């Protein structure tokens, strides 16, 4: 069964002009080899979450806010791989919700999900996820895993997380753009920046203005700590926030961080297990 697409006014309906898959001729997302680590961590965690929580939570929801088309093209090798929605669709969640801004991409995702049994329990919201999140209904009494995978910090304001938190009990896996999102734009983040500053929206306040700005790396670290504080203020436990994984490109340049947050020690236990299962032995796993 093909998942229902809920089209919102904010949807981008422009025709698809980028690459298409050589397998099904549908839109495909250009990417780098580094998506492999992101997808492995996500799927390892999603599997532990969906099966491990089966007896305690009848309703287990997988929510992905920036879903993409379900297929990626690894630029360097020319090889295609599945996108995150297709990597998790066979896991033991009872409901799947995806949001995607681009209509052609959302349609490609719906077609690619159609053959799977769980497609019957899947909805796709096409439009800005900041609109979609206000309308999405999550069954009460659900435990949700939310994967938030934007291409820049401007797309993921903290108000998104606050709304999500009001709607459902959730664990979060958030992709935070490192170089492009914060470090390389440090020149824009000056104390006179207004309320519309991407960083103010991302953090949900302008506390970043107090951070020293002479060293971009330290500035980024400071922003990250403020973000974790914001998560803590919503009830995510301090010792279950963070343990972030830095994803770098082929030349070891940091691209983004995967930040994990949960309200329960079980979440941290699963995330630690996922990190140990996926990351190389030499990774610093901390305490
Ligand atoms: C990084 S890609 C997603 C990749 C996918 N999660 C994966 O790993 O296979 C981000 C996607 O978010 C979509 N997007 C960008 N801004 C959005 C918004 N405000 N709301 C919903 N989707 C958005 C883009 O069209 C793009 O397909």
Q: pLDDT tens digits for 158-191?
A: 999 999 999 999 999 999 987 656 777 777 787 7
CA atoms within 13 A on the CB side of 65: 27
Q: What is the pLDDT of residue 29?
A: 96
Largest CA distance in the chain: 54
pLDDT (mean) for 207-213: 92
Six token digits for residue 70: 């379900």
Does any ligand 1 atom lie closer than 6 A to the CB of residue 83?
yes
In this model, does residue 246 exceed pLDDT 60?
yes
pLDDT (mean) for 214-219: 88
Contact 246, 275 (CB under 8 A): no
Please give the residue that has the higher pLDDT: either 27 or 286.
27
In this model, does residue 27 exceed pLDDT 70?
yes
Ramachandran angles phi, psi of 176, nearest 5° = -110, 120
CA 80, 90, 130: angle at the middle one, nearest 5? Answer: 80
Give distance in angstroms: CA of 29 to centre of ligand 1. Answer: 10
Q: Which of 14, 74, 1 is nearest to 249 (CA)?
A: 74
Does any ligand 1 atom lie closer than 6 A to the CB of residue 204?
no
Pairing type for strands 95-100 and 59-64 reads parallel
Q: Which CATH architecture has domain 4-179+239-275?
A: 3-Layer(aba) Sandwich (3.40)
Domain ranges of the chain: 4-179+239-275
Does any ligand 1 atom lie closer than 6 A to the CB of residue 128?
yes
Q: What is the pLDDT of residue 262?
A: 96
CA 44, 47, 49: angle at the middle one, nearest 5? Answer: 110
To the nearest 10 degrees (0 to 180), the angle between helices 216-233 and 158-167 is 20
Pocket test residue of 33, 62, 66, 148 for ligand 1, highest count of atoms within 8 A of CB = 66
Contact 274, 51 (CB under 8 A): no
Instruction: Specify the length of the chain in residues.
Output: 287
Pairing type for strands 169-177 and 95-100 reads unpaired
Give distance in angstroms: CA of 224 to centre of ligand 1. Answer: 22
- With a pLDDT cut of 70, the percent of the chain lying above it is 97
- In angstroms, rounded to a whole number, what is the distance separating the alpha carbons of residues 16 and 26? 9
Does any ligand 1 atom lie closer than 6 A to the CB of residue 99?
yes
Contact 28, 83 (CB under 8 A): no
Could you give the C-alpha distances from 45 to 39, 40, 283, in angstroms and in order? 10, 8, 18
Give distance in angstroms: CA of 212 to centre of ligand 1. Answer: 32
Does any ligand 1 atom lie closer than 6 A to the CB of residue 125?
no
Atom number, ligand 1, closest to the C-alpha of residue 69: 27
Does any ligand 1 atom lie closer than 6 A to the CB of residue 258?
no
Six token digits for residue 156: 């993921």
Q: What is the pLDDT of residue 287?
A: 43
Does any ligand 1 atom lie closer than 6 A to the CB of residue 31?
no
Q: What is the pLDDT of residue 103?
A: 98
In this model, does residue 152 exceed pLDDT 50?
yes
Does any ligand 1 atom lie closer than 6 A to the CB of residue 70?
no
Bridge partners, 248 (sequence order): 254
């Amino acid at each position: 069964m093909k998942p229902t697409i809920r089209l919102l006014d904010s949807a981008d309906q422009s025709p698809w002009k980028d690459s298409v898959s050589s397998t099904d001729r549908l839109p495909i997302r250009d990417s780098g080899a580094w998506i492999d680590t992101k997808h492995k961590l996500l799927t390892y965690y999603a599997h532990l979450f969906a099966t491990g929580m089966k007896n305690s939570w009848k309703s287990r929801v997988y929510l992905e806010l920036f879903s993409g088309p379900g297929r990626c093209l690894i630029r360097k090798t020319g090889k295609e791989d599945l996108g995150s929605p297709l990597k998790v669709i066979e896991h033991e969640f009872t409901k799947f919700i995806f949001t995607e801004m681009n209509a052609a991409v959302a349609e490609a995702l719906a077609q690619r999900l159609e053959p799977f049994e769980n497609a019957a329990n899947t909805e796709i919201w096409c439009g800005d996820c900041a609109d979609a999140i206000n309308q999405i209904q999550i069954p009460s009494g659900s435990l949700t895993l939310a994967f938030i995978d934007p291409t820049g910090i401007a797309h993921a304001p903290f108000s998104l997380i606050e709304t999500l938190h009001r709607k459902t009990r959730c664990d979060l896996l958030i992709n935070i753009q490192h170089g492009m999102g914060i470090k390389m734009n440090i020149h824009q983040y000056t104390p006179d920046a207004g309320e519309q500053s991407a960083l103010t929206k991302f953090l949900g306040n302008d506390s970043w203005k107090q951070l020293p700005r002479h060293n971009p790396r330290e500035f980024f670290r400071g922003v990250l700590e403020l973000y974790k504080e914001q998560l803590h203020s919503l009830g995510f436990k301090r010792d279950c926030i963070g343990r972030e994984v830095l994803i770098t490109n082929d030349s070891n340049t940091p691209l983004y961080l995967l930040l994990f947050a949960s309200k329960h020690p079980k979440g941290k236990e699963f995330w630690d297990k996922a990190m140990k299962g996926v990351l190389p032995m030499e990774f610093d796993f901390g305490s």
